């Protein structure tokens, strides 16, 4: 295999494919590599850890077709360190030569026959608006769990809802729900559970893209991002779906909220950033809700305390409710618009954060009980 490619193009392609390469000890050694397949002027780079696969197709100046599995992170670091300009890659049976200008490297290859075969694509395909999907992923993915002891909570539920698509994630302490009207991906009543890690990587890949296509198989989902104006590349992400029953999230959302705070989004975020400086470790931020405003406070024994008052509109009974400051910030930051509402039943029931201007996103958050 022999080809020439501009450094920046190759850096981007290797960087994307390498994000799927395994970092787990004890995995197949070949999974630490990225598979390179050259056919004419078309180079396909594939990284995989068996659960997640990222495949990048890029245009190069091909000389000799071939297949090689390169040590992913080493080669990515080498190419990134080269001077700008053309990079020459010449891979034989056991070694690959990488050169640019006066720089020359030789790296050992991994056995190509051991690399896993890429899953065949499902035939049915739907197209989604990339910017809307990225916005939805930004709002929902952070609420998914990172604890592999409960695999279903590490996923994002994608379900048919009305004439569109609903994305739901929860780690049992908070819940995020986002609707994408008109995105007819699934049949009525159908749902799939997609790993949040894969969707986080997808959000990165969608930067600058206009559309993304989705194919759903029985056990996997494939997202494909077409060529962009600045780079003649095509990227495909395939992930295994999670098996299991997602929690009945609908019963978690209270039907009524007698207490409602309406406050500026940015002033609340700024106040949270300041006050949580004194909310060390597991210390919550307390919100004292009252007519005309809200007071944020945090007290850490033997360290100090912080208080800040904000002007706000409040309807309901005066109460003080406490939250994990990072979880609350995540929800407020995800809301679109200039103002947010915080709706509560009491100091111990779940609270709901919404946008004043839009109704397509909901963030539910469990309070922290304090003495």
- Asked if 24 and 105 sit in the same domain, the reply is yes
- Asked if 77 and 41 sit in the same domain, the reply is yes
- Asked if 137 and 235 sit in the same domain, the reply is yes
Instruction: Give the total number of structural domains in the chain.
Output: 3
Residue 143 placed within a domain: yes
pLDDT at 13: 96
pLDDT digits (tens, 9 = 90+) for 37-58: 999 999 999 999 999 999 999 9
Q: What is the C-alpha to C-alpha distance for residues 303 and 296, in angstroms, rounded to an integer?
A: 17
Mean local confidence (pLDDT), 344-370: 93
Residue 120 placed within a domain: no
CA 207 from centre of chain: 12
Residue 280 has pLDDT above 90, yes or no: no
pLDDT digits (tens, 9 = 90+) for 238-259: 999 999 999 999 998 888 889 9
Q: What is the C-alpha to C-alpha distance for residues 231 and 50, in angstroms, rounded to an integer?
A: 27
Residue 335: how many other CB atoms lie within 10 Å: 23
Give the pLDDT band of residue 86 (cuts 50, 70, 90): very high
pLDDT at 25: 59
Phi, psi of 23 (to 5 degrees): -120, 5
pLDDT at 110: 96
pLDDT at 168: 97
Residue ranges making up the domain that contains 78: 2-114
pLDDT at 310: 96
Residue 200 placed within a domain: yes
- Asked if 30 and 48 sit in the same domain, the reply is yes
Task: Note whether 294 and 261 are within 8 A (CB).
Answer: yes
DSSP string, 85-146: SEEEEEE-SSEEEEEETTEEEEEEPBPGGGSPPPPPPPS--EEEEHHHHHHHHHHHGGGS--
Residue 371 placed within a domain: no
- Asked if 65 and 99 sit in the same domain, the reply is yes
- Asked if 99 and 166 sit in the same domain, the reply is no
| Listed residues 250, 281, 306: the one ending a domain | 250
Residue with tokens 């759903």: 216
pLDDT digits (tens, 9 = 90+) for 329-352: 999 999 999 999 999 999 999 999
118 Cβ partners below 8 Å, 6+ apart?
Answer: 46, 48, 53, 55, 238
Give the pLDDT band of residue 119 (cuts 50, 70, 90): confident
- Asked if 257 and 246 sit in the same domain, the reply is no
Average pLDDT of the residues of the chain: 92
| Listed residues 92, 114, 136: the one ending a domain | 114
Residue 281 placed within a domain: yes
- Asked if 214 and 322 sit in the same domain, the reply is no
Residue 180 placed within a domain: yes
CA atoms within 13 A on the CB side of 298: 23
pLDDT digits (tens, 9 = 90+) for 151-204: 999 999 998 888 888 999 999 999 999 999 887 777 777 889 999 999 999 999
Q: How far apart are the first and last CA of the chain?
A: 68
pLDDT at 141: 97
- Asked if 7 and 109 sit in the same domain, the reply is yes
Residue 137 has pLDDT above 70, yes or no: yes
- Asked if 151 and 140 sit in the same domain, the reply is yes
pLDDT digits (tens, 9 = 90+) for 287-309: 999 999 999 999 998 899 999 99
Residue 103 placed within a domain: yes
Q: What is the C-alpha to C-alpha distance for residues 185 and 159, in angstroms, rounded to an integer?
A: 9
- Asked if 105 and 141 sit in the same domain, the reply is no
> Pairing state of beta strands 174-180 and 361-365?
antiparallel
Question: 337 versus 118: which is more confidently predicted?
Answer: 337
| Listed residues 250, 266, 294: the one ending a domain | 250
- Asked if 241 and 261 sit in the same domain, the reply is no
pLDDT at 26: 61
pLDDT digits (tens, 9 = 90+) for 88-105: 999 999 999 999 999 999
- CATH number of the domain where residue 220 is located: 3.10.150.10
pLDDT at 142: 95
pTM beyond 0.75: the answer is: yes
pLDDT digits (tens, 9 = 90+) for 216-238: 888 999 999 975 444 567 999 99
Residue 23 placed within a domain: yes
């Amino acid at each position: 295999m022999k080809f020439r490619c501009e450094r920046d193009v190759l850096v981007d392609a290797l960087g994307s494919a390498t994000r799927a390469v395994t970092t787990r000890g004890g995995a197949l050694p070949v999974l630490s590599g990225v598979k390179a397949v050259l056919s004419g002027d078309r180079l396909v780079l594939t990284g995989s850890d068996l659960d997640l696969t990222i495949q990048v197709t890029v245009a190069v100046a091909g000389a000799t077709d071939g297949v090689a599995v390169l040590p992913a992170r080493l080669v990515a670091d080498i190419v990134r360190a080269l001077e700008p300009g053309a990079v020459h890659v010449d891979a034989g049976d056991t070694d690959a030569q990488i050169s640019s200008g006066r720089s020359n490297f030789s790296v050992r290859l991994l056995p190509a026959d051991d690399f896993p075969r890429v899953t065949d694509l499902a035939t049915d395909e739907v197209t989604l608006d990339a910017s809307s999907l990225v916005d939805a992923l930004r709002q929902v993915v952070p609420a998914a769990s990172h604890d592999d002891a409960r695999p279903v909570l590490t996923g994002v539920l994608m379900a048919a809802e009305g004439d569109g698509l609903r994305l739901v994630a929860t780690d049992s302490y908070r819940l995020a729900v986002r609707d994408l009207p008109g995105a007819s991906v699934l049949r009525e009543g159908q749902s799939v559970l997609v790993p949040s890690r894969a969707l986080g990587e997808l959000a990165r890949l969608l930067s600058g893209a206009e559309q993304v296509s989705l194919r759903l198989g029985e056990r996997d989902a494939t997202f494909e991002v077409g060529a962009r104006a600045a780079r003649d590349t095509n990227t495909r992400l395939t992930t295994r779906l999670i098996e299991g029953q997602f929690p009945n999230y609908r019963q978690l959302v209270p039907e009524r909220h007698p207490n409602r705070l309406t406050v500026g989004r940015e002033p609340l975020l700024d106040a949270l950033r300041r006050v949580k400086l004194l909310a060390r470790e597991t210390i919550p931020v307390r919100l004292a809700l009252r007519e005309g405003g809200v007071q944020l406070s945090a007290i850490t024994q033997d360290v100090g305390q912080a208080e800040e008052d904000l002007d706000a509109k409040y309807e309901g009974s005066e109460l003080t409710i406490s939250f994990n400051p990072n979880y609350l910030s995540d929800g407020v930051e995800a809301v679109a618009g200039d103002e947010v509402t915080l709706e509560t039943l009491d100091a111990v029931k779940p609270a709901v954060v919404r946008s004043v201007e839009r109704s397509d996103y909901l963030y539910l958050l469990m309070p922290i009980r304090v003495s």
